[in-house]
Each structure stands twice: as structure tokens, then as C-alpha cells.
Amino acid sequence: MQTETAHVLEVKDLAVEFHTVQGRVKAVRDVSFYLDRGETLAILGESGSGKSVSASAIMNLIDSPPGYITQGSITYRGQDLLGMTGAERRRINGCKIAMIFQDPLAHLNPVYPVGWQIAELMRAHGVEKATASARALELMERVGLPNAKARFDAYPHQFSGGQRQRLMIAMALGLEPDILIADEPTTALDVTVQAQILELLQKLQAETGMGLLLITHDLGVVADIADRVVVMNSGEIVEAGTTREVFKHPRHAYTQKLIAAAPGKGALHAVEPSQDGSAPLLEVENVVKYYGGLKALKGASFTLMPGETIAIVGESGSGKSTLARTLLRLEEPTEGRALYKGRDLFALSPKELFDMRREIQMVFQDPTQSLNPRMRVEQLISEAWAIHRDLLPRAQWSDRVAELLLQVGLLPEHAQRYPHQFSGGQRQRIAIARALAMSPELIICDEAVSALDVSIQAQVIALLDELRRTFNLSYIFIAHDLPVVRDFADRVIVMQNGEIVEMGTVEQIFNRPQQAYTRDLLAAGLEADPDIQSARRAERAAHAALSAV
Amino acid sequence: MIASTLKCARSPAEALAPPRHPSVAMLKMLWADKFALAAAIFLLIALFCAIFGPSLMEEAATKLNLRDRNAPPFDTERGWMFVLGADSLGRSILARILVASQNTLLIAAASVAFAMLVGGTLGLIAGYSGRRVSDTIMRLADVIMSFPSLLLAVIVLYMLEPSILNLVFVLAITRIPIYLRTTRAEVLEIRERMFIQAAQVMGASSARIILRHMLPIVIPTLVTIGTLDFAFVMLAESSLSFLGIGIQPPEITWGLMIAQGRAYLNQAWWLAFWPGVAIILTTMSLNLLSGWLRIALDPLQRWRLEMGGNNNAN
């Protein structure tokens, strides 16, 4: 920070406050960072850390009121952004500083063709119509959209998630910005697509020399493409430095905790060979589910032993959730059998199904949505006993709720609160307590930790693991990426396009994957280690060069 | 993110708050919203008038006084009974409004409640059940909606006797589709939410899912529509009375008073004005109160009122 003008973007001592009924809440305090041309700076933090607020301040996106920038300066090439008039600011926003977001579908207008939308931004900044359209087409090709010319007039819903993110990037690049702010650009994408988008961002950065400001909660993403990283926690920067330095020698306790929490480092579960004696808990035989012409599930078969954890891993559209929903009879299967303790789940009478509900429970992806917002925790958990009357006499309900809350790491007095008064991780604990209320034998977790922050993820997985040992539970654990299930599962099933691609012990899948898709999936997963990531990147590049020849 | 920060800030305070009786908490929240408080007080007064008005004021409301025909309001000479003026037969408007409140509120409340109950129930069924049942119910609603409500009322009331009960029945029938459609639309959306699936996984029956999980979310919307509908029903009733098939003199309602005052609008505006004010105030109060209720019943929004209450107390 020797010369002020050396940095293309510099944020100094930024403080942002939100005025709420409780008084002022400081969302961000004393935040300083800078970004040079051609470099990638990552702002790493969990939800509520203030990383998005910092980025919003640069783009003038903070709603005021209730938000106020109370202190600090943001300079772009030496010009103070905060002191500018609205008109001056607009000339820089979008033009010199562009932004892409997590959910591209929400930021593309569904009623206009994508080519028109990309050109629109340029037209808004005074580029002529014909030039803008030509350039839009060129950009679509540049961000790697196949068949760009034919799809120029297609609408956003006709593109996949990864392609939509490419479109957003094309739109952002329209005016050749100096700075690109990417707010969780790959969070909503599948791992293999994520790897492609990150690669694209890096390639474009190398070509244009723009500065890339990456806001993310994902250590893997940071390790993959960032040059420098700023770690934020509850509104403050706790650590800053080059990615390598921070990842290898984290100085602050929070960073250390965060890096330690990254999944995929623990010991692999050894498979206990005691499987021969006992009867399997669940035998799934050739389950098929068609939605009209769409073949969501093309025949899945596997067995689950008592006390075992099977992870089903696959990207979106692989049929993993359909499988779970079918087993729980939330969907009716088109074909197949699922024998639970020898009885076919799909042939149960309503009465039998009702009894079966006690033994198989589910934990959903997003606890915010799976808990009724109008019910207190006590009502949520005791609903199980209200439905299954003979399970527990009413007089014991509140004692049992308190007990369950303690078991999942919450406090008995939490029983009187509503779900919105808890954090995401706590809410998932409530959902787990609810599933435990029935004393089930099998719990199906559908992406149960995907919506949570990394450190919380680790805690919830540890909790599930502990509960398994205490109650001898079996799990079917559905996830979209492999590292999460590495330290937790006994066996892994990899699914793609409605079919099981590979099945094996966790050790087999991670150390000796047989199928190409499994290897792709493993390679696309981002390790929270810059060295591993750069090695992989080099390998991929070599591979690509080889196949090009 | 802002919200999450906010929640964190809130939690300790809540943990410390001693558990209060629900009704005390409700009253505190009502105190926090002064508009809703005023509305509640007005509605209590209106309710009091509706119950005791006829027995107390019957005589004053029906006594003819031809010398004071169309007497203007705010004239102190005739005594406080004539503070709002007198009608075309010299009867005190104030007394008549108070007496009329009984019929008016009874008809409106009964119609709205009946329509809400039937429409809401059918809507829940239509939204939750299969396609066939749903389609049948919806087409039935379409039939009612496509038939001019006034015409329906005329036919029914010509065939039947124009009593209060029949009037309530006709008014309710014509309003049912509104509740039905709203409820169904909400149910269709709620049905897809994850917590409904969570309840299914636990083995909850359809009745339980509908009553325990869906109804609490639908009710605030229905109540809000109901309060707006209250005014509509009052005016619809007056137009039926105007056609001679609704409430007949000497029985009175606010709507009928407006209808009767219409002929005198250019000489004596107060004939139609005061009952109009009564209708507006009632509707507005109901509306304010329902807005408050909507927030008070929603655990996610409730803090607005609780915070307001604390600020006032400090």
C-alpha cells in the first residue's frame, strides 16, 4: 500500500451499519483490502461474516436506509467512489466494475432472448445497436457456449445452470470491466460445472487482465483460483495474505478452525467384515421411476446393512433425490421392490405404511423450509408423538423434548422458541431431533448439510456420526459432492443420469475409482489446499492439450 | 444476512424474557400498535351498539317529527339526539345509525363468516385433493362467479321470503368463490413446501396436514379479504334493499339509510353521509385490526409489535 494509485480498487477502513429496531447493528467494521489488475482476491467467510455487504458497498448496492456506510473510503483508480454523484457512479458501475451473482436465473429477465440481454447492457452505455449485437455474439462464443449463433435468440430457461452462469459472465464482460466482482458464482452449480466455470473465469482474467474479486464461503474455490485471500468473520477481517500462506500457515484461530473443518481430511471408515451374519436392513431391487417420458431413475439396486451408512452421490439430475423420495413413498415407483426387513415398502397398505414411518425418517436439505415456521420447537418435535399416539404418553412429551434437544446439542429452554430464532446449523439440529423423536432405525438425509457453512457442516456430520453409534442407526446420506461423505460413509454409490455408475466401499471409491465419471467427480471436487489444486489444474491442462493434439 | 445479524442480536433478550400468558402478550402487542388499538376500541363500541342499541334507542329512532324534517347536523337547539341531523321524516339520524348497527353488522358478519367458512373449506379440499375433485369444485365456483350476483340475489329473494336469514344466505353464496380461489391458490403453493413433506414422512394424515400445517398460514389471508369484503357486503345488502328485496322498512340498516338518503343528496347530504361514515369507519377498523392480527399471529413478524411495545414502555 505504498502508493494510493497503484491499486485498481482499494477499500479502506470500511464500516457499514444497519439501523434496526434494536439499534445499530455493525455489519462490517474496519475492513480494508485492495485489488490490483490481473489478480484474484478472494473474500472468504461464512454466512453473516459481512463479505457480501463489503461487496455491495463497492457496487453501491446497500439499501439506505437501513444500511449506512459510516466510515471509510472506496477508491477506484484513485477516484473516491463514495463521494461521487449517482450519475458518476453509474458510469463506473457495470462499465468499469461488473458483478456476477450466485443465482443467474434470478438475474436474467425471463421474457427477453439472452443475446438481446447481453447487448442491452452495452446499448445502455451508449454502444450502437449493431455493434452491441455483434459483440454479444462474440462474447457468447468467448465464454464457451456451444453453438452460440443459433442460441443467440434463445430464452434463459433454455439454458442449464452452468450455461446461465456463462451468460452472466458474458454480460459482465460486455464493457471490458477493470474489475469483476463474483459473489458466490459457483455455489449453485454442480462440482464438474463449478470446475469449468472457475477455469473460464481464470482464462478470461488472463486474457483481459481484469481484477477479480471473488466472494465465497468455499475453501476449495479459494484454493483453486485465488492469488490472495481475505478471511472475514463477524464483520471483521481476521486474516489476509497470499492463498498459500493463509492455507498452509493460518495465524488466526478462526482461520485455523475453518481450514480444519474442511471436509475430506479424516480417516476413511474401515469396512467391518461382520456383514455376513446379519440380515440386510434394506434391499433395493431395480427401482424405476418415470415422470411421464422423463426417466428419472432407471433401475437402482443396493443393500443396506443395519448400522451402515451408505452415501449416494451424484450431480443434479442424477436421480439420487428421486430414489430417496421413492423409498419414503413420497413418490410412487414405476417399478421395482424395496425390502425393508424383508417386507416390500412399495406394497404396504396405508396402515402398514403408517407404522413403517416410525422406522424410516428423513432429514431434509434446507431446515429453514422443512420446519413449519409457525410452530415452536416443542410442537415440531412432539408432532411425531401426536401423530403416533401410542409412542409416548402426553405427560412425558416435554421431558423427552428436553432430552432430545440435549442429545442434538441444543438446550432444553430452546423448546419454546420458533425456528427462525435459530441459526442454520441449529435448525438442522432441530430437524434431526424431530427425526429422532420416532426412534427410527433408518434415517435418510437428503443433502442434509449442503445448505450449511463449512464449520457447521462438520459439526452436524459429527453429530450424525455420534448418534449413529449411540442408537445404532443406519443412514442413507445423499450428497452432491464427494468430500462431504468421505469421513462419514461406509459405502458410496455414485449416480449419474438415473443410474448407479459405481458402488463400493469408501476406500475403493476414493482411492481406486473404477469408472471415468467417478474419477471426474473426484477431480472436480475442490480441495482446500492450493498446492493440490494447482497440481490438478496443471494435470487437467496437460490432459486437455493432449486430447487437442 | 441483515436478518440473521438481527436475530442474533435478539436471542439473548428473548431468552431472558419471562414466559407470559398468551392473552397478556396479545394485549401488549395491541397496545404497541395504536391504530389497531383505536380500531379495536371502535369495534367494541360498535358491537355494544349492535347488541344494546335497538332496545335503548328504538323509540327515538322511529319517532316521527315532521317539523324537523331534514334538520341539519350540529344544531344544538334540538338536543344531542339530533347532533347528526334528522332524516326526511324528522327522525334522529344518530339514533337510527345506532339502531341500524344491529341488522347491518349481523348481516355482514354472518355473510362474511359463512362465505369464509364454506369457501375456505372448499378451497382447502380443492387445493389438497386430486385433480377431479379440485376441478369439480373450481367449475362450481366459476358458475357462481359468471352468474351476475345481483341477478342471483333477485331470483332467490323473489322465490324466497326476503328475511335476514335468506339475505345472509344469498350474500354469502355470491362471495364464496373469492375465498375459495384464494385458499386454493395458497394451498397449492404451501403444498409444495418442504415442511409438508416432512409431515408426510412422519405419517401425518391429510386432515392433520391441512388443519395443523396449512390452515394457520391461510387464515390471515382469509381474514384480510374478509374485512375488505365486509364493506362490500354492507353495500350489496343496501342495493338489494333499494330494489325492495332486501331489508324492508321499518327495519333499518346503514345501507338502506344510504339508499334512502340518495334522493335527498342535493338538499340534505347528511342523510346519506353519516351512515356512510359508519360503514367506512367499521371497514377501516376491521382492516387495521386484521393487519395487526396478521403480524401478531406470525412468529416471524411478531417482533415488530413486541419491540414497539418495549420502546413505549421504556
Give the tens place of pLDDT for each residue, B90-129: 788 888 888 888 888 888 899 999 999 999 999 999 988 8
Rg, C-alpha atoms of chain B: 24
More confident residue, B12 or A200: A200
Query: Over pLDDT 70: what percentage of chain B?
Result: 90
Q: What are B's interface residues with A at a Cβ cutoff of 8 A?
A: 1-2, 4-11, 14-15, 19, 193-195, 197-205, 208, 212-213, 216-217, 298-300, 303-304, 307-308, 311
Instruction: Out of A362, A413, A421, name the one closest to residue B201 (CB).
Output: A362
Which pLDDT score, from 0 to 100, does residue B118 have? 93
A301 phi/psi in degrees, rounded to 5: -135, 135
Q: pTM to 2 decimals?
A: 0.78
Interface test with B, best of A18, A22, A389 (most B CBs within 10 A): A22
Q: What is the pLDDT of residues B127-143, one digit of tens each?
A: 888 888 888 888 988 88
Decide if pLDDT at B20 tops 70: no
Decide if pLDDT at B161 tops 60: yes
Q: Cβ distance A240 to A33 under 8 Å?
A: yes
Q: What count of Cα atoms within 13 Å lies in the side-chain half-sphere of residue A441? A: 12
Which pLDDT score, from 0 to 100, does residue B72 have? 74
3-state secondary structure of B303: helix
DSSP classification of residue B300? T
CA distance B304 to chain A (A): 8
Which pLDDT score, from 0 to 100, does residue B307 have? 66
CA distances from A249 to A130, A233, A240 (A): 53, 18, 11
Which pLDDT score, from 0 to 100, does residue B160 have? 80
Question: Looking at the predicted complex, does its ipTM rise above 0.85?
Answer: no
Task: Indicate the residue type of A73.
Answer: S
Average pLDDT value over all residues in chain B: 80
Which pLDDT score, from 0 to 100, does residue B184 have? 92
* Alpha-carbon gap, residue A11 to A211, rounded angstroms: 14
Which pLDDT score, from 0 to 100, does residue A549 have? 56
Set of chain A residues whose Cβ sits within 8 Å of the Cβ of B2? 18, 20, 25, 27, 66-67
Contact: A25, B9; criterion CB under 8 Å: yes
Contact: A21, B205; criterion CB under 8 Å: no
* Alpha-carbon gap, residue B274 to A207, rounded angstroms: 76
Which pLDDT score, from 0 to 100, does residue B13 have? 40
Please provide the distance, in angstroms rounded to a whole number, between the alpha carbons at the two ends of chain A: 45
Strand A491-496 with A474-479, pairing? unpaired
Regions of chain A short of the pLDDT cut 50: 1-4
Domains in chain B, start-ordered, CATH in brackets?
A: 26-64+77-313 (1.10.3720.10)
Mean pLDDT of B50-73: 76
Q: What is the pLDDT of residues A415-469, one digit of tens each?
A: 888 888 888 888 888 999 999 998 899 999 988 887 777 778 888 888 888 888 8
* Alpha-carbon gap, residue B178 to B227, rounded angstroms: 13
Widest Cα–Cα separation across chain B: 76
Window 259-288 of A: residues touching B by CB (8 A cutoff) are: none
Q: What is the pLDDT of residues B231-275, one digit of tens each?
A: 788 878 877 877 777 777 778 888 888 888 888 888 888 888 888
* Alpha-carbon gap, residue A33 to A10, rounded angstroms: 6
Contact: B195, A423; criterion CB under 8 Å: no
Decide if pLDDT at B308 tops 70: no
Set of chain A residues whose Cβ sits within 8 Å of the Cβ of B205? 387
Decide if pLDDT at B16 tops 50: no
Which pLDDT score, from 0 to 100, does residue A422 have? 84
DSSP classification of residue A445? E
Domains in chain A, start-ordered, CATH in brackets?
A: 282-527 (3.40.50.300)
Q: Cβ distance A97 to A109 under 8 Å?
A: no
* Alpha-carbon gap, residue B134 to B127, rounded angstroms: 7
DSSP classification of residue B212? I
Which pLDDT score, from 0 to 100, does residue B309 have? 45
CA distance B11 to chain A (A): 7
Going by pLDDT thresholds of 50, 70 and 90, the confidence category of residue B23 is confident
CA distance B158 to chain A (A): 47
Window 37-76 of A: residues touching B by CB (8 A cutoff) are: 47-48, 50, 52-53, 66-67
B151 phi/psi in degrees, rounded to 5: -65, -45
Contact: B14, A383; criterion CB under 8 Å: no
Set of chain A residues whose Cβ sits within 8 Å of the Cβ of B202? 357, 361, 383-384, 387, 434, 438
- C-alpha cell at position B30: 395491541
Q: What is the pLDDT of residues B164-179, one digit of tens each?
A: 888 888 888 888 999 9
Cβ atoms within 10 Å of A58's Cβ, excluding its own: 22
- C-alpha cell at position A79: 477516484
* Alpha-carbon gap, residue A489 to A484, rounded angstroms: 9
Q: Degrees (nearest 5) of the Cα angle A204, A122, A141?
A: 40
Instruction: Out of A48, A413, A423, name the one closest to residue B15 (CB).
Output: A413
* Alpha-carbon gap, residue A324 to A475, rounded angstroms: 11
Instruction: Show the DSSP H helices in B147-214 as ranges.
Output: 149-159, 164-191, 194-201, 206-208
